[in-house]
Amino acid sequence: MPELPEMETYRRLLQERVVGRTITATLVQREKTINLDPAQFDQILVGNRITLVDRCAKHLLFHLESGHILLLHLMLGGFLYYGTVDDKLGRTAQVTLSFGQPILYFHGLRLGYLHLLTAGQLDERLDSLGPEPLDAAFTLSRFTELLEDKRGILKTTLVDQHWLSGIGNCYSDEICFDAQILPTRRIPELTQEEIKRLYFSMQKVLKEAIQYGGYMEPPLYRDDHLTGGFNDRCRVYDRGGEPCLRCGQPIIQSKLSSRKVFACINCQH
Ligand SMILES: [Zn+2]
């Protein structure tokens, strides 16, 4: 499932491509993906111009001239493609937005959604999200403060969107590996030194993942060489059985309440 770096990659690339463009047509092939009647969805969107592409946690926000916002969550299996009728992918798109020639295709949106909201509705929807790890206000002391109230397991806490938003299965493991801390540790047992390492690993791993375009592989457009560049740079995620890049011992894959966990039990403590 795409996390903060994947959605930030999409945000940056789409900001350059769709801002200022007017939607000329919509096509909804799966009504459950949207929140309105397709005719109403089309009526509000056609003729409307995109003024800003923003991101909040794992959501992408397309701000429109009318004041409406398209809120996208890709969940599991969703991805985007920006191209023309000639170079589109040979797969069904649940929703398409045309901007004259270029078209934005929303693929794999079975669990994911694209909802058209007013500003008030958007605030309500995003209200319960925790702080963003890369926000300037999210300092080491804020992180320490937030951990003080927690009793649970580190991994489960890191992926809790109400506590901290944007991190999921992949980056929680990558952050713990970088900090040399086991994701299965209990939070009250973490030392101040370990909390500090976690904080700086979080900053480092997320920024590096954004720099390399996240781990989701399908390119956003033809000749897109950025998206998915971090996939080969994951140190533990999806590398069960492969040698640890730090110590050479095999990466262990385990399960923590239905979530996959990847860690090196030799050099993470
Ligand atoms: Zn190791």
**What are the chain's domains?**
4-126 (3.20.190.10), 140-263 (1.10.8.50)
Ligand 1 centroid vs 168 CA: distance in angstroms? 22
Please say if 2 is a catalytic residue.
Answer: yes
Q: Which residues of 169-181 are buried (b: 16+ CB within 10 A; e: fewer)?
A: bbbbbbbbbbbbb
% of the chain exceeding 90 in pLDDT: 98
Work out the pLDDT band at 149, boundaries 50, 70, 90.
confident
Contacts of 234 (CB under 8 A, 6+ apart): 170, 174, 215
Region of 56 (left: φ > 0; alpha: ψ -120 to 50; beta: rest) is beta
3-state secondary structure of 155: helix
Which alpha helices (DSSP H) does 83-233 contain, by range?
119-126, 140-148, 154-158, 169-179, 192-211
| Average pLDDT taken over every residue of the chain | 97
Q: Residue 208 catalytic?
A: no
Residues 177-201 pLDDT 10s: 999 999 999 999 999 999 999 999 9
Ligand 1 center from residue 42 Cα (angstroms): 53
Q: Binning pLDDT at 50, 70 and 90, where does residue 123 land?
A: very high
User: Cα–Cα distance between 107 and 95 in angstroms, integer?
Assistant: 7
> Residue 245 Cα, ligand 1 centroid: separation in angstroms?
7
Mean pLDDT score, 233-256: 97
In the annotation, is 58 catalytic? Answer: yes
Catalytic residue (choose from 11, 55, 58, 239): 58
- pLDDT (0 to 100) of residue 257: 86
Considering Cα of 110, then 259, then 170, then 228, what sign does the dihedral take? Answer: negative
User: How much of the chain is in helix, strand and coil states, percent to nearest 5?
Assistant: 30, 20, 45
**Main-chain dihedrals φ then ψ at residue 130, nearest 5 degrees:** -75, 180
pLDDT band at 266 (very low <50, low <70, confident <90, very high): very high
Report the percentage of the chain scoring pLDDT > 70: 100
In Å, how far from its chain's centre is CA 231?
A: 14
